[in-house]
Structure 1
Amino acid sequence: MDLTAFLALVLLCVTVQGSQKNITAWYGKTIKLPCNGGNLALDNLIFVKWKYENDDKSPEDLLIKQANDNEVTILASEDYASRISMGDDYSLHVSQASLSDQKIFSCMVVYISNLKEYRLKVLVNKKPSSVEIIDKSEALKKDIATTVGTCIVIDSNPAATITWTKNKSPLKADEKGVSITPSVKLNPATGLSTSYSTLQYAATKEDAGAVFTCVSTYELVHNETQLEPLPVHYPSERVRLDIVPKGPINEGANVTLRCAGDGNPPPNSFLFHKKGEKILVENSDTLTLTLVSKEDTGLYKCSLPENEKLEASQNITVHYVNLDLSPSGRVVKMVGGNFSVQIDLETSVDPQISWMKNGKLVSQPEFESLLYADAGLYTCKVSIPGVTSSEKNIELVVEGTPVITNLSENKEVLTCEAEGVPEPQFKWSINVIIITTSYTKGKAIQKVNVTETGLLVTCSVSNKYGGDVRSINVTTANSGIDEQQNGSPDHATIVMVVLILFVVVVAALGIGYWLYKRRREGEFYPVDPRETDNAQTSETSNHTP
């Protein structure tokens, strides 16, 4: 009996041993299929053959090995011929596993008196090659469902499952504002599965900066891929208008209007309403008013071009002080006349008004009878405290005919005092020696020494308006020797010294001459008193009867 006939007879007596077992292999690796779990009895063994079952349940031989032969005979077609081999323990090795290897393989063992078959079902698994997120959103939108991204798990078997988390908290498709769309696509060439999951999310303002993560699960192993924190975009609900500078605004200043919306991203184009005029500003949030004046005072608004009803407004008050005085500048008045000042004033708010005269606080100038002392520089200051101020000056000059107010003598010095503007000029009725002359605030004073006594001396003063005269009797002679301010003797002193010396010299000469003459005539001798008494006694005796 030949081998073929023997095999046919044996097939009639095949006994399938045990239940079918499953073998899991990894894609691209070598599948190792043990015959009878690797516990094959070798006694009375004739040969071992491996085969697989087609989709139509028909068997397909792979290879066979005789018990007494080390060679393995390949029976398979091209697809398996290059990928199969048999181990020393009669196990089947299939290299480069693919999904097409997911079949039922059987190990047929033929003994002299028996035949056994062990069936194995092969499952080929493949881990995903990558996990990534595509179609990523740059931002979320408030209350509007926005695609966050699509998570893709590529080439796996079986297909991976995908879930989403927000800030590490799972998202469910039935939650408000959450939509998750899963799908799986098979690669027709490899049979591998690619899983897709698209997340749509309607955000709130509080979701700004939220981190969304795609979680891929395969064979209880999780892989995560997360997005960068996403901003939440929403339109402006309020508009704010700011004025720079924030403090009081004076005429001549530059004023900036800055408009802002609370949307995200912030709006960058605005409509400014300037006293009824609309000004569109694009790619900027400011409008600058240069060199403002009081005419710029008023209500200003800003709004969004796409929603003019959403607006903000601010009142701008331009502060100003317009001050004029009447009269102004240099004013000349006559002494005894009247004088008053009128203020022409225009301000943005009630101001404070003050007057200064030569740096000292005074009341507003108003005189019914001017004095020379009333002359001076008057300054009117009008101020809005903490805001602005303005000043105007009046130089009041009081002029008039000079009047002598005092003429006196004190220790050989005559003092003449007068009031008048312009400065009075002094004249004396006799020759005098001027000691000092001064003129302050309309008051002139001159001090002199007189060279003669017992006279009526007159002081006169005058200016362009007229003059005045006053006299005084001088009774005291000038005998003192005074020096001028430069320290040299004056003319009067020299004359007095010369006269005194002359008198002394003449007196000395006269006395000398008289003495000389007496001595020549013998009329003058020194006499002893005793001789005088004796002479008198003798003369008396001669005249006795």
Structure 2
Amino acid sequence: MAARINACLLVGLLALFHTWGVSASVEVNMMDRVEVFKGEPATIPCMFTSSEGVGGMIIQWFYVTRSGEKQQIFYQDATMKVVNKGTQFSDRISVNGTGATGEIVLTISNVELKDELEFICLIKGLTEGTGEGRTKLKVFVTPDSPSIDGVKRGISVSEDGLSKIGTCEVKNGFPKPNITWYRNQTPLRGDHDVVKVVPRITTESSGLFSVTSELSMKVTKEEKDDLFYCEITYFVPVGVMMTETNPINITVYYPSTAVSVWVESPKGHIKEGDSIELHCRGNGHMPSSILTIIHENDKYSLLNNVLVLDNVTRLNSGVYQCISMDTDTFEEILGNTTVFVNYLDPAVVMPEDTVVVFQGEELKATCNALSSLQTHTVWMKHGKEVSTAHSLILKDATFDSAGMYVCVVTVLDIEGMETSGTLNVKVHGPPKIMEPISNEIEESFEGTVELSCKVRGFPTPTVTWTTSDGKLLEMASQIETEGEVQSNVSIKVTSDITAFCNASNDFGTDAVTFNITAKGNGVIIAVIIICILLLAILGSVLYFLYKKGKICGRSGKQDLTKEKSGKDNIVVEMKSDNTEEAVLLGVNGEKQAPNNQ
């Protein structure tokens, strides 16, 4: 009933406006475009005003097909809202707003690429007034990461025409991405004689675009170190995005104009025995080039532009010439360097090997080594420096002067360059026993003493051990080196002993005495004597007491006549006369013979 009244009122108002002859107007405002990523919802607002007021308007939504026709997708008036069926939007659109506020919004969910169309919002007033607005829906898809692929082969500067540098590709973008080539951060523009960029666009079955771009150039030597990469630009809602590929470089072949040859190692001075590494390189880069090194009458092939000479000698000194030949043109380019191998001959010691001097004499020796550089000579003994000259002078020779001397000749300018020689000095003289720490030794009775005797002399002395009573002692051990003897003996101490270490050679003798005192033998004898005395005293006391009758019975002759306390009681009678006869009385006081005891 209310709907019918509203309808009557609406008809009456229309008639009234028509009767009055007032011209109604409707104004619609919409955005030029709405941008959205594929798969997201798109919101298209429609705002309108009317001189009649905004209530009771008829609202229609359309889209323009690819062929240019208008296709309605939604209708709304004061009594109904209808979504048209059978369109690509039937199940994906919704409209918010009644029109009473002057704003109505079309929402399209899960936007697809085919939704990139123009949408029309049509507003009809209560009279003849009509307004229309249009918005284009733009759909975007971010492309995959781009890739770049450079040519694998080298490019010669002598090639005719343009040479392919590489290919860039970006896939699955919408709208179509753009590719720009760069060389060292400078964009490359097409130039038919120098640079050529060929793009190729592919529309995938999904409707997305894939773009490939191929770069070709006339290559020069200057491009040998250049970096090439691609810049990809693509559109997104309300903006443009950019990404870059990794840079690539190309191998450029170009002929040499000069050749260099040098010693890579060792750095600085070269000495005999070193390994020399010679490098040869042209300033070009051509696979057809052959490098060869020539030294005097020797010709060497190189491996990776390197020649290695092992264990060089002074004969390896001289000029080394490197030849670069292009097998295409047979042109040769030369370069050279000079190598000098320093040398140090073996040390020569005079006198040679072994020298013998007598005690008190003077010895003079020399050491020299021929070298290409200045040398420094040092004489060493037992690792200690004894002289810093070519000559070694030993005055007033002693046994301490004997031994092995090492002459070391060093080239100061080159580390590790040295030679050496030896001189064995022997000093003739009689034995000399090194003074022991102590000649007076105390040891417990029955203990063992270890004696040691160190003797120097040349020829090497003979060592024996004896005692003061002429007894020859057996050595426990003996260590002999040239000109020196270490002799040891073990002695068991049973009394005070005097031992002698005797040394002799062709030039004389020497001896040392060890006095050994046995600790504890006098005390034992004293203890034994005291014990004997104590025993004697104890015996005397016992005998005295016995004589006085203080032991074994009462004093004097007494009858032991106690009453019998039992069957087996024994009575003892002691006599004090000189016979010291003891009579044992049997039971009942009867005398018994001693053998019946």
TM-score bracket, normalised by the shorter chain, equals 0.3 to 0.5
Q: Find the structure with the greater CA-based Rg.
A: 1
TM-score in terms of structure 1 length = 0.44
